[in-house]
Chain A
């Protein structure tokens, strides 16, 4: 009897545990799919940084009936006949829309490097140094401004590269190996898109180049990913070697253009010396009678990227032209009301408010709010079966708008230099971490509003949902106790306004015609 009870108890426990096995995916669970459309005229769209789809030159391809091409076809068939299980896994992983995979790789690296440097034993802080990337601390600190910029350059390079690829594809019209040789079975859904140059190779090379510049310690890992991706392009039956080589030529060209812009966009001066930071703070105090203080122990001498506002924007000439109105004065009724609101939220925290605060927190060690919106975009892209060109167009405009909105947000943050709730409310405690920069306006609000507007433009049927999520992301910071409500509401308006400049540009790029 005793033994029976005991055995039953153990059995029950084991069953319970076994039934709890969870799927914990490491990337979006999709495989190749049939594109919703092909955009044969995509080569005529207006690129972001390049002159046109024709401006990057690649050699004319050999005809499919040439001996050179037949040799390449035999190479494909030989490789496919010796395929390993790892190579099959790689083909399934990369899919026929690999820009999403490279975006996920970027998000992973952002999360890996979104680690704020801690203090040294003597109370000083050492900043990551690109000249000595190993550190410690390792370079970069992939905070939201750094993250949104990395994503923007990668997405723009991908988009420009694919416009070029589409131009040459339909200029040369060389059919894909699986279309030329019926013995070759394509790993993905067949389509009529010409295969020279390989769009996958453009994506692989451009992404690897941009991410290697942004995350120099990951060069080896990124090279491995590129090698695996390029190999899978051939093994899928979709490309011969000359398709892939031409794609990498374009990938190199667009990433060079993007990285040239990046090296001169002002980001290298965004993290200022203390003297500059102090003068910015003093100017705000002189102007408004308040200034934000870092309350960490030991105090951080400089806030995060005080001159991110001076980084070159994608779609706006003058960052001050989109600067929001001044926040409420320290003695205003509006601020007093907000103090009461935040106290009330903190004292009466509900499960739902806590869930929202945590869901959108995207803090240290995560892919940041810009990363969160890239993840949302990736999921929509796959759901709507966008082709690679539409995919990179979506990600490029979204990340341009996110970066512009971030630059505008940082302009407001350091121009107004408004204190955080923990600075103005005695004894106030939060459930989210207070970041190392001024309060007004909320970065989450601005990033999210900008991202949601671009996604609403690309996916009109999702507009309501996107905007609702952006507003939830904005208010999440108020629930978390680290932002005033006007930081969130004004920030949302700011992000929407800034995004409109990029959306106007998108509407004129030829894709909507």
Chain B
């Protein structure tokens, strides 16, 4: 029972990570990777699959233009809602595979001065492999070290050059993440991770743009980024409830600022600091089923919305081999 719960966590976590990291960044700035890169310290055993389904409601009514926080009645309040299906598969006990595909819908509140149509569609399909290198008792607690490699790429031809309604950055992304966690016997744990995000180019539908100078091409260079995350967590109620506080930082390594009262574009240098809270609960009565809820908000940033998002999700985990065995038995 306890094992099952923990397994599902991975999936949950994954889901949550997507929501946490991803949405924000994705929204305006291109961070599909983040979203799809599992960054927790949990592993699913071999031959287990966890499916996740979450709904995320994000919103902002101000954004940073460079470092200046402003409102803009042309876009008023922008809502971004995301449905995220995801699957986590235990290939080996120390090697998990993840796949995810968010569906995103954006729109401005009424009234607004711009009368722009929002956007909707499937965003980026993401794949990730997570490998657990260390999992051992150290002192009175348990130390875990992992590495994750992720890749995501646009699933549809959505237009990334349509800020702030674009549903994603429109560029392929490759990420490498290192994760370390230490859990005390009291079931308090601390986790930290660092990742580098290599973002490719996104193709606009115009062949000229300004990025501190003229560019005679439709290709826009989406800046690479570093991201750091620190998480404080605690298991409660016989390991059925998990609470986490998170802090995330993302910093682009290049890029330009949004110009005065002008639209953002994929080439912008983005930075943000975000804090979040999440709770995950695993039902004792229904084997393999869990729920997750979270809230995040950006507290500081550059060329990003002052975004907050709240999400809910369901996870269900099952053992592929075992199920087949049970079926056979019934016959």
Contact = CB atoms under 8 A, between A and B. Distances in A.
A23 B289 CA distance: 50
15 contacts: A2-B94, A10-B176, A24-B215, A25-B216, A108-B210, A111-B208, A115-B261, A117-B260, A296-B74, A297-B112, A358-B206, A365-B259, A366-B209, A430-B116, A434-B114
Interface of A: 2, 5-6, 9-10, 13-14, 16-17, 20, 22-28, 104, 107-108, 111-112, 115-119, 136-137, 295-298, 346, 351, 354-355, 358-359, 361-362, 364-367, 372, 375, 422, 428-431, 433-434, 481
Contact of A358 (B113, B147, B159, B262): B159
Given A6-B131, A17-B174, A118 B95 contact: no
A6 B259 contact: no
B204 interface: yes
A433 B221 contact: no
4 pairs of A and B residues whose beta carbons are closest in the complex: A118-B261, A358-B205, A297-B113, A297-B73
A359 B157 contact: no
B263 A365 contact: yes
A115 B208 contact: no
B94 A14 contact: no
Nearest to A12: B151
B264 to A, nearest CB: 11
A118 B71 CA distance: 11
Given A16-B151, A17-B174, A295 B208 contact: no
B131 A108 contact: no
Interface in B63-103: 70, 72-74, 76, 92, 94-95
Residue in B129, B151, B207, B210 with the greatest tally of chain A CB atoms within 10 Å: B210
Q: What size tier do the contact residues of chain B reach?
A: 35 or more
A112 B209 CA distance: 10
Nearest to A108: B214
Contacts of A296: 73-74, 113-114
B200 A28 contact: no
Given A104-B214, A351-B157, A20 B129 contact: no
A433 B116 contact: yes
B216 A26 contact: yes
Contacts of A104: 214
Given A108-B210, A115-B261, 19 more contacts: A6-B147, A6-B149, A9-B129, A13-B151, A16-B151, A17-B172, A17-B200, A22-B217, A23-B217, A26-B214, A107-B214, A117-B261, A118-B260, A118-B261, A298-B73, A354-B205, A365-B259, A428-B115, A431-B117
Contacts of B139: none
A326 to B, nearest CB: 26
A367 B157 CA distance: 26
A24 B221 contact: yes
B277 interface: no
B221 A22 contact: yes
A483 to B, nearest CB: 14
B207 A16 contact: no
A433 B260 contact: no
B226 interface: no
A273 B261 CA distance: 23
Given A17-B198, A295-B113, A111 B131 contact: no
A35 B279 CA distance: 72
